[in-house]
């Protein structure tokens, strides 16, 4: 459960990881952004450089509090033949603040639906989801989605897309622009500020989508197979960059994927789901050190064991499937 | 090589026009019919129409009604179409009504509207309005329906209210489709403009045309047809310029290859 604590203690310098094409200069800028954001939002004068530290409520009793609680959620869809399809069956789940949690499962297991319920885009048929103790009744800027389909605003430039959220939240234009430019640089798209989405590749679009969501400082990132539409090379690079960004910021991330490698590489915790009806099959804590480097991790026998074990569990259920 | 291909592409419409006029000229010389003047005779009559103050007042009166009807139709049809595209209930309410009105020639409603509103500007503008509305509603509806759900979710997560999402996401996202409808609407506005003036003759370009027809001034009739055609081409070209500017961000599949499609 507390796997993420491993990396945290040893990772308090504001410029640790220089790798993966992200230079320390704009990581430092990001840290600066966090400080400014915290000043404006909470009115603090003295704040730590890392959001994970100031985000943690000082008054709270539990040190690692649950940010999202999913309580006996079921979702029924009506299919074309007027049959009820049970997409999610009785899901209960708690996600702790600052954790990187992946929901892993075959297509059609309802993992995206679960994410949409947390996002407030879909109302569950029964049960409820809560964020910080409040029932989720609709979307809100505390939960920022990143979709496989990118869903950028095609009539806005890269800068316009990233600025959209802050402007909507009432941030002044000059300030929103400065923050957005720093974010665009952080996701590796400096020089593309005035491009339209149609002029970008899939990987670049997804970088813009990530920057656009980070720009309005959501407390939870909801990532719906974000790298699913990308080629293998781009996917790897984006995974690396996402981890680098996340290790600065330690936002809570709920990450839907059907890739076992991806889930193990990125996550503190992997929630394995099974199909028809969508159920939680197993929750696995990924106890691997952070910051994680791909080249080190791929050689790490612990990493390999997680991947093999999880794949074996899915294979078992596939074989058991037709026999039932 | 590409520049010569581009030049050929640019010159093609000019050649088409010249070819059409040449065929007209030959046909009229062969048929030798009084009511079918040659192309040269018709073109010769154009300057006398455009030089006549009375004719110009008529033509501008037509254009003013057309602009009013077209503008009013956009103001009503675009919001209605967008609402229909995003709300199944609104669509279910308006769809049957529109399906009934769609195939009715709008000019056929004119006699009734004339009884209510007289033969003045209001009647003609209303007919133009009706003629333009339906394609604009239909395309706005299609455009709004096709807006990616996830795009709206992204907006909702940023805190946009449903109305803000309609104005700030659905409207721009559907704009290429809406403008396609408007372009069709513009041509229909020109058509209904002329037909409305045919039925309620009082002023306008149609008035000149049909009065000349009554008096057997066939060169004027054909000259007016040329003028109306030229107006159509010019308006369409201007609109296409504006459209291309407004949606230069969009994927090329929204481009319309030919005029009057």
ipTM of the complex: 0.84
Q: How many other CB atoms are found less than 10 A from the CB of residue A177?
A: 18
CA atoms within 13 A on the CB side of B110: 25
* Token pair for A237: 């690079």
Size of interface A-B (CB pairs under 8 A): 64
For residue A201, tell me if it sits in a domain.
Answer: no
CATH number of the domain encompassing residue A42: 3.40.50.300
Q: Is residue A41 part of a domain?
A: yes
In contact, B152 and B169? CB cutoff 8 Å = yes
Whether the CB-CB separation of A228 and A147 falls below 8 Å is answered with no
Show residues of chain A in contact with B143, CB under 8 Å: none
Give contacts of B153 with chain A, Cβ < 8 Å.
119, 121, 139, 145, 147, 151
B251 in contact with chain A, both atoms CB, cutoff 8 A: yes
- Asked whether residue A34 is assigned to any structural domain, the reply reads yes
Q: Do A155 and B175 touch (CB under 8 A)?
A: yes
Q: Does an H or E element contain A67, and which?
A: strand A66-78
Q: What is the DSSP secondary structure assignment for residue A105, as one 8-state letter?
A: -
Q: Which of A89-93, B72-76, B235-239: highest mean pLDDT?
A: B72-76
**Where do runs of H (alpha helix) occur along B87-217?**
88-101, 110-117, 121-145, 149-157, 162-165, 171-199, 205-214
Which of A140, A196, A198 shows the shortest C-beta gap to B159? A140
Q: Give the C-alpha distances (Å, rounded to integers) separating B172 from A139, A269, B81, B248, B250.
A: 21, 40, 13, 12, 10
Angle between helices B39-51 and B218-246 (to 10 degrees): 70
Of B148, B157, B175, the CB nearest to A119: B157
User: Which residues span the domain enclosing A108?
Assistant: 4-63+97-124+133-142+218-323
Structure letter (DSSP) for residue A278: B
Any chain A CB within 8 A of the CB of B172?
yes
Whether A250 is covered by a domain: the verdict is yes
B136/B138 Cα distance (integer angstroms): 5
Is B154 part of the contact surface with chain A (CB cutoff 8 Å)? Answer: yes
Note down pLDDT in tens along chain A; length 324 residues: 444 444 344 444 333 333 344 444 454 444 444 444 443 434 333 333 444 444 444 444 445 689 999 999 999 988 777 778 888 989 999 999 999 999 999 888 889 999 999 999 999 999 999 999 999 999 999 999 999 999 999 999 999 999 999 999 999 999 999 999 999 999 999 999 999 999 999 999 999 999 999 999 999 999 999 999 999 999 999 999 999 999 988 999 999 999 999 999 999 999 999 887 888 999 999 999 988 989 899 999 999 999 999 999 888 766 554 433
- Determine, yes or no, domain membership for A42: yes
Tell me the C-alpha distance between A5 and A1, whole Å.
9
Quick: pLDDT tens for B87-114.
Answer: 999 999 999 999 998 888 888 888 889 8
Please give the residue of chain A at the shortest CA–CA distance from B148.
A151
Position A284 in a domain = yes
Could you give all domains of chain B from N- to C-terminal order, each with its CATH number?
36-249 (1.10.3720.10)
Would residue A70 count as lying in a domain?
Answer: no
* Strand-pair partners of A26: none
Which residues in chain B have Cβ-Cβ distances shorter than 8 Å to A213? 154, 157
Euclidean distance between CA atoms A148 and B155, whole angstroms: 16
Q: How far is CA B226 from CA B45, B123, B188, in A?
A: 10, 26, 17
Pair A255, A223: CB distance under 8 Å:
yes
The answer to whether the Cβ–Cβ distance between A149 and B173 falls below 8 Å is no
Cross-chain residue pair A155–B172, CB shorter than 8 Å: yes
**What is the arithmetic mean of pLDDT over B132-146?**
95
Q: Which of A141, A149, A153 sits opposite B159 (nearest CB)?
A: A141
Q: What burial class does residue B23 get, using C-beta atoms within 10 Å of its C-beta: 0-12 exposed, 13-18 middle, 19+ buried? A: exposed
Q: Which residues of A touch B (CB under 8 A)?
A: 119-121, 138-141, 143-145, 147, 149, 151-156, 164-165, 168-169, 196-198, 212-213, 216, 218
Q: Which residues of B fall within a CB distance of 8 Å from A145?
A: 150, 153-154, 157
How many domains does chain A divide into?
Answer: 1
Helices (H), A15-172: 24-42, 51-55, 111-119, 158-168
| A43 within some domain | yes
Tell me whether residues A139 and B153 touch, CB distance under 8 A.
Answer: yes
Residue A241: which H helix or E strand, with range?
A: helix A232-249
């Amino acid at each position: 459960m507390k796997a993420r604590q491993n990396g945290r203690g040893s990772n308090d310098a504001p410029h640790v990881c220089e790798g993966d094409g992200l230079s320390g200069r704009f990581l430092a800028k990001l840290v600066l952004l966090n400080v400014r954001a915290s000043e404006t939002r909470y009115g603090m004068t003295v704040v730590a450089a890392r959001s994970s530290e100031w985000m943690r409520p000082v008054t709270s009793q539990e040190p690692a509090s649950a940010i999202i609680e999913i309580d006996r959620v079921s979702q029924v869809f009506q299919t074309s033949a007027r049959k009820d399809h049970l997409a999610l069956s009785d899901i209960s789940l708690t996600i702790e603040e600052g954790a990187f949690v992946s929901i892993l499962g075959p297509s059609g297991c309802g993992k995206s639906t679960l994410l949409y319920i947390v996002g407030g885009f879909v109302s569950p048929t029964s049960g409820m989801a809560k964020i910080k103790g409040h029932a989720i009744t609709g979307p809100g800027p505390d939960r920022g989605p990143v979709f496989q389909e990118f869903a950028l605003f095609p009539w806005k430039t890269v800068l316009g897309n990233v600025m959209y959220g802050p402007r909507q939240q009432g941030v002044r234009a000059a300030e929103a622009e400065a923050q957005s430019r720093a974010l665009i640089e952080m996701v590796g798209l400096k020089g593309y500020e005035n491009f339209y989405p149609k002029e970008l590749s899939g990987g670049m679009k997804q970088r813009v989508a990530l920057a656009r969501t980070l720009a309005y400082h959501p407390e939870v990132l909801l990532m719906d197979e974000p790298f699913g539409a990308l080629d293998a090379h781009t996917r790897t690079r984006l995974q690396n960059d996402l981890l680098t960004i996340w290790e600065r910021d330690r936002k809570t991330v709920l990450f839907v994927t059907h890739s076992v490698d991806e889930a193990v590489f990125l996550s503190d915790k992997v929630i394995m789901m099974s199909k028809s009806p969508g159920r939680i099959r197993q929750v696995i804590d990924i106890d691997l050190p952070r910051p994680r480097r791909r080249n080190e991790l791929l050689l790490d026998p612990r990493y390999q064991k997680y991947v093999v074990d999880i794949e074996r569990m899915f294979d078992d259920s596939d074989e058991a499937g037709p026999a039932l | 090589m590409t520049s010569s291909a581009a030049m050929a592409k640019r010159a093609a419409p000019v050649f088409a026009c010249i070819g059409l006029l040449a065929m007209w000229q030959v046909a009229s010389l062969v048929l030798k019919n009084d009511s079918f003047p040659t192309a040269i005779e018709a073109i010769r009559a154009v300057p006398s129409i455009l030089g006549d103050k009375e004719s110009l007042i008529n033509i501008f009166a037509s254009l003013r009604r057309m602009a009013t009807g077209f503008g009013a139709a956009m103001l009503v049809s675009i919001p209605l179409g967008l609402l229909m595209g995003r709300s199944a209930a609104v669509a279910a309410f308006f769809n049957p009504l529109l399906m009934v009105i769609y195939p009715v020639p709008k000019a056929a409603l004119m006699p009734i509207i004339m009884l209510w509103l007289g033969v003045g500007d209001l009647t003609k503008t209303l007919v133009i309005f009706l003629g333009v509305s339906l394609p604009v509603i239909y395309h706005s509806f299609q455009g709004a329906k096709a807006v990616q759900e996830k795009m709206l979710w992204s907006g909702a997560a940023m805190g946009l209210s449903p109305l803000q999402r309609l104005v700030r996401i659905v409207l721009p996202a559907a704009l290429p489709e809406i403008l396609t409808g408007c372009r069709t609407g513009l041509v229909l506005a020109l058509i209904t403009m002329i037909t409305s003036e045919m039925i309620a003759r009082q002023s306008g370009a149609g008035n000149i045309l049909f009065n000349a027809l009554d008096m057997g001034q066939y060169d004027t009739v054909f000259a007016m047809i040329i003028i109306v055609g030229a107006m159509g081409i010019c308006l369409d070209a201007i609109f296409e310029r504006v459209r291309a500017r407004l949606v230069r961000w969009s994927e090329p599949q929204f481009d319309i290859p030919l005029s009057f499609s």
